[in-house]
Amino acid sequence: MLEQLLEYARKEGLDAKPGFAPKDVRWTIVCDDVGKFLDVIEIGDTEKGSKNKGQNFKKCPDLTQSELVSGKEIKCHFLVETAGVITLLGAEDNDEKIKLKHDYFIKLAKDAGEMVPEIELAAECLLNLETLNEINNTLMNQKAKPTDKITFKIGDSYLVERDDWHEWWCNFRDVLNKKDEKILKTKKKKDKEVPNVKMRCFATGELAEPVKTHPKIKGLSDVGGIMSGDVLIGFDKDAFSSYALSQSKNAAISEQATAEYTIALNDLIKENSKRFVNAKVLHWFKNKIDPKDDPLFFLEQGEDQDKLEAQNQVKKLLESIKTGERVDLSMNHYYAITLSGASGRVMIRDWMEGQFEELIENINFWFDDLTIVHREGGNRLAPNPKFLAVLGSLARKDSQGKPRLDDLPAPFVSKMWRVAVKKEPIPYNALSQALIRTKVDIIQDNPFIHARMGLMKAYHVRKNRLKGGNSMSDIGPYLNENHPEPAYQCGRLMAVFARLQRSALGDVGAGVVQRYYAAASSTPALILGRLTRNCQHHLNKLDGGLVNWYEDKIGNIWSRIKDKVPKTLTLEEQSLFALGYYQQIAQMRTKKTENTSQEKEDNNE
C-alpha cells in the first residue's frame, strides 16, 4: 500500500519535500513593494461565500506536530497561519499562548528577512500597532474567522509562492531538529535506547535514517478523525514499542518516503474520496483514466445521476475491453483504501487492488445480483440502486422516515464496499438486517424497498454460485414458480392469500398479512394449513372466474410444497419466504387473466 501511495505521489507530480505541504489559504494581507498595508483580500472560490476553502498553495512551509511541541518555546507555522496567530484576530487579553505564537511568527519572518528582505516587510507590518488594528478591522468587516488561514502578498507576489526562502527554511528545520534531538537525548540518557542508525525503510526497502514522528493526515474529521489531523504511523505508548526502539523507529520510514505517502493520502482525501457513512473510500488507477470510464462512479451513483443507466454503461465498458477496443483499460489496475479516524489515528479499514477488467466484471455482477422486479409489477425491473441506498435499506429510520446511516458501524460499511468491489458473499448480518426491516415494512403495510429485496436476492445468488448452483435453485429477478425450496413456495402462498382476502373483502384494516405474516414466515406448518381452510370463506364471495383462478393458483403452489411444509424456518429460509412473497405479489400485479378484474393494489398486501 505504501509503495503504491509513493508511486501515486510521483506520477501526479506532487512535490513531496520534507518540511513542505500544500495548504488552503482564504485571506491574503496585501502590501506594496515597500511594505505599506493596502488591503485584505479573500482568495479562492469567493462565490461559495462561507464555504470557500481558499486558494491552494502547493508548497507551504510546514512543521510536524513533534516539531511544533518540542522544547519549551511556543511555536507556529511560517508564512501561512491562522488569522488568530498572525494578526491576533479575536484574541483576548488572557490568550497568552496565542500571543506567544504571534511573536514567534514575527521572529521567523525577521530571521528569514535577512535572506529575503520582502519577508521582513511583513514582520514590520505586524509590529506596527496602527497597521495591525487596520488589518483586523478589515478582516472583521469581511467576517473572517480567527481560524481562517492567511498569508502575505508583497507587491505582485505571494511570499509563500517564492522559492528564495526555501534554503533558509530547510536550514532552520535542520537546526531545530538537532536541538530537539539533544534535548531528547538528555531526557533519556539513562535509557537503553538504540542510537540513530540507518534502518530498512518499510516503504522503499532502502537503508535510511527513520523519522521519529510522522505528519498528520487531514480530512478525516467527518469519519471519526480530529480536525488537526490523524497519524497513520505512530508509537506513543511503551506497549507499542519493542527492542528498545522509540517512537516511529518501530516502523522505520525515511523522511522523504514519509512526506510522499502523506501528501498522497492528503491529496486523495481532498480530490478523490467518497464518504460512506463512517468510512471514507479513496481510489485511483495505475494509469489515469477519464472520469466517465470510472466504474466505481457507476457503483456510487446508481441510476440517479443525470439518468445514467449504470449497468448498461458498465456492460459497454466491459464489452469494449473484451473486444480489444479499449486495450488501455485492459492493462490498467485499480487501488482502493477505506479509512476512518480513531482517537487521533488513521484506521485502515481495507486495502484492495486488482486488474481493471476484474473490477468491471465484479461491479457488473453486483448490479446483476441486486436486480429485482419492480414492486409495481409489469415487465420492468427496479432501477440499479446507489451503494448508499443499499446501506440505507439496512438502517433504522429516524422520526422523518429517513435511514439513520450513522448507526451503521464503519467495519460493516467497509465490508459491504469490499463485497461490491470484490464479488464476495453478502454478509450474514446484512441478510439479518434486511429481513428484519422487510418484515416490519410488510406488517406495517409500507412500500417494499427495492435495494433491500435485491440484497436478499443477491445473498442467495452468491451463495448458490459458490456452490455451483443451477438455474433451478438460483433466484432470478422475476418469480420462479418452479423454485425447489418449500420456504419460497410458502411465501408465494401467503401472497396469494393476502390478495384473495383483498379481492373478497376489500380493505379490512388488519388483514391476513398483519395478523399472520410474522408467524407464517417463521413457523409455516402452524399457519398455512389454517389459512388454506379459511380461504374457502373468501372464495365463496367471488365470481366463478375468479374462484377458478385462485383455486388453480393455490392448488399449483401446494403441489410444489406437497407434504414438505417446514415446521420452522431458519433466517435464510425466512428470507426465501419474503422473496417468494414479494415476487408473487409483483407477478400478480402484472399477469391478469380474462376472468380477473382490474383492481388497484397497495404497495404491500
459 and 383 Cβ atoms separated by less than 8 Å = no
Which of the listed residues 424, 441, 465 is the one where a domain comes to its end? Answer: 424
Count of residues for the chain? 605
Task: Assess if residue 224 is contained within a domain.
Answer: no
Is residue 149 assigned to a domain?
yes
Backbone angles phi, psi at 263, to 5 degrees: -70, -30
Mean pLDDT for the chain overall:
88
Q: Do 414 and 491 fall into the same domain?
A: no
Q: Based on the fold, state whether residues 415 and 302 are members of the same structural domain.
A: yes
Is residue 155 domain-resident? Answer: yes
Cβ atoms within 10 Å, residue 547:
16
Same structural domain, 383 and 487: no
What does the pLDDT read at residue 414?
A: 93
Average the pLDDT over 223-251 and give the result: 84
**pLDDT of residue 600 exceeding 70:** no
Helices (H) and strands (E) in the chain, counts: 21, 15
pLDDT tens column, 118-164: 999 999 999 999 999 999 999 999 999 999 999 999 999 999 999 99
Q: What is residue 603's predicted lDDT score, i.e. its pLDDT?
A: 44
Cα distances (angstroms) measured from residue 86 to each of 28, 340, 350, 534, 567:
11, 32, 40, 82, 75
Final residue before a domain boundary, out of 375, 390, 424: 424
Residue 451 lies in a domain: no
> What is the pLDDT, as a whole number, of residue 510?
67
State the average pLDDT over residues 442-465: 93
Domain co-membership, 22 together with 166: yes
28, 121: one domain: yes
Q: Are residues 410 and 495 part of one domain?
A: no
Tally of domains in the chain: 3
Same domain, 492 and 352: no
Arithmetic mean of pLDDT, 299-316 = 67
Same domain, 538 and 418: no
Quick check: is 233 in a domain? no
Residues 362 and 490 in one domain: no
For the beta carbon of residue 549, count every other beta carbon within 10 angstroms.
18
Note the pLDDT of residue 542. Answer: 85
* Pair (394, 510) in one structural domain: no
Question: What are phi and psi for residue 522, nearest 5 degrees?
Answer: -115, -35
pLDDT digits (tens, 9 = 90+) for 2-14: 999 999 999 988 8
Q: Are residues 279 and 419 in the same domain?
A: yes
Q: What is the pLDDT of residue 67?
A: 86
Say if 559 falls within a structural domain.
yes
Chain mean position to CA 54? 24
Cα–Cα distances in Å, from 284 out to 11, 59, 62, 366?
A: 12, 23, 26, 20
pLDDT at residue 591 greater than cutoff 80? no
DSSP symbols for 76-116 = --SS-EEHHHHT-TT--TT-HHHHHHHHHHHHHHHHHHTT-
What are the tens digits of pLDDT across the range 526-542? 999 899 988 888 888 88
pLDDT classification of 325: cutoffs 50, 70, 90 = confident
- CB burial readout 445-479, b (16+ within 10 A) else e: bbebbbbbbbbbbbbbbbbbeeeeeeeebebebbb
Q: Determine what percent of the chain is predicted with pLDDT higher than 70.
A: 92
What pLDDT was estimated at residue 512?
86
* Calpha distance 299→66 (Å, rounded): 41
How confident is the model at residue 599, as a pLDDT?
Answer: 42
Confidence of residue 508 (pLDDT cuts 50, 70, 90): low
Q: What is the pLDDT of residues 47-61, one digit of tens each?
A: 998 889 999 999 999
Residues 72 and 159 in one domain: yes
> Looking at the domain assignment, is residue 267 inside a domain?
no
DSSP 332-400: -EEEEEEEEEETTEEEEEEEEEEEHHHHHHHHHHHHHHH--B-TT-TT-BPPPPPHHHHHHTTSPB-TT
- Predicted confidence band at 180 (pLDDT cuts at 50, 70, 90)? low
Q: Find the domain containing 132 and state its range.
A: 16-170
Last residue of a domain, one of 409, 424, 439: 424
Q: Which residue has the higher pLDDT, 26 or 591?
A: 26
Instruction: Indicate whether 492 belongs to any domain.
Output: yes
Q: Which of 205, 204, 212, 242 is nearest to 64 (CA)?
A: 212
Tens-digit pLDDT profile for residues 411-435: 999 999 999 999 999 999 999 999 9
